[in-house]
A and B are shown apart, each in its own frame.
Chain A
Amino acid sequence: MNPEQNSRLQLRVVSPSRLLVEAEVLEVQVPGLDGYLGIWPGHRPLNACLGQGELIYRTVLGREEKVNIKNGLVRVADDKILVLTEMEDDDRV
């Protein structure tokens, strides 16, 4: 990992019906098609499809939070994570 890199990630989770999460986080785990993917700062660029499950992220305060997602796509570039998911209304954990 490059030392000058930020130790935080910008996470943005959107579904067609609304913005689910927009936060600065330390770590994210997303349910990939073949199991969970852990994403830490300095992750290399990645585009991946998602399955169904909980997206878990740790906020800058160190608290762990979860959001239910179902199918979708994650894109990681420059410590920015964009998650698009099909999840419909009000299934928030």
Chain B
Amino acid sequence: MPTLIDLRRRIQSVRNSQQVTQAMKTVATARYKKAHRKVVERRPFWHSFPDLAISLSQASGRPAHPFLEVRPEKRIEVLVITSDKGLCGAFNSNLLAAAMTFLEQKKEKATLEVVAIGRKAGAHFKRLKYPVIRSYAEGVDKKTNQISRELSRHLEYRIFFNRVDAVYVIYNEFRSLVAPRLTVSRLLPLTGQAEDLRPDRLRPDWEPEAGRIIDYLLRFYLRYQLEHCLLESQAAEQASRMMAMENATKNAEELISDLVLLLNKIRQASITRELLEIQTAVEALKQQGV
């Protein structure tokens, strides 16, 4: 049976943790709102873009751009996007588990290379045998722009010089507050449905010539697609952290109420016991006829 003083200490310590989780929740909420706004504002762009890219490149009637060329996947590059910090529920562990399953699956047929984005991914892949060719840690959320630019250059290089056949990205997509959606998608080569082009009555003019426009457009696409993935992941991270901290605060609340109940029971028990002892002593004295 714990003593009263132990219980009081314990309650105090749970209360302190609760304050911390509460504060973290508030911070996460603010960050989440910001990240969420960014993602939502970007949606119009993503609704117009991929179809446009593909239909334009088909309409151009040119040999396929390297970004569109589907080759047997012998060499694969995998981008894994996690967060820098923990305390966001199963956000990173689910993602890394999915990444591992994916890598195991592809391992037999292809050589794999990993780009780890976020400190958690870096730490995870350090212990494993997969070659990590690039990793970004620390302040990924502040350097989104720079990272996406660097990475897209890197990928362009890899694709143009035929170093990889396909690029996959594994990240948490922001869907709702409750749970992020784990997404494994192929970034390159780009495939998809072309928007239903009515055969134009007139052939379109290209200025400058089609090949250059397509090239520009696809690079543009790659860079902002990467940025988009990073931002989605950040919004999802803050949302999961918010939920995790809310649950922690709730749990602390429950724990405190249980502990307070126990404390009161023990206190009451000791009062009752003392009363009984006094009563017994009084009775004993009475019987002795004092």
Contact = CB atoms under 8 A, between A and B. Distances in A.
Contacts of B200: 45, 77
A84 B45 CA distance: 8
Interface in B209-237: 210, 212-213, 216-217, 220, 224, 227-228
B52 A75 contact: yes
In this complex, the member of A12, A73, A76 whose beta carbon has the largest number of chain B beta carbons within 10 angstroms is: A73
A14 B213 contact: no
Interface of A: 12, 14-19, 22, 32-33, 44-49, 72-73, 75-78, 82, 84, 86
Contacts of A73: 213, 216-217, 220
A18 B220 CA distance: 15
B5 interface: no
Contacts of A44: 202, 204-205
Contacts of A15: 45
Contact of A75 (B41, B56, B210, B228): B56
Contacts, number: 74
For the complex of A and B, 10 pairs with smallest distance between CB atoms: A45-B204, A19-B44, A18-B41, A48-B207, A16-B224, A14-B45, A46-B205, A44-B202, A45-B200, A14-B44
B208 interface: yes
Q: Is the interface of B mostly helix, strand, loop or mixed?
A: helix
Nearest to B45: A14
Contacts of A75: 52, 56
A43 B194 CA distance: 23
State which size class the interface on B falls in: 20 to 34
B206 A16 contact: no
Contacts of A78: 198
Contacts of B202: 44-45
A77 B206 CA distance: 12
A15 B41 CA distance: 10
A1 B284 CA distance: 118
Nearest to B214: A47
Nearest to B202: A44
A15 B45 CA distance: 6
A46 B204 contact: yes
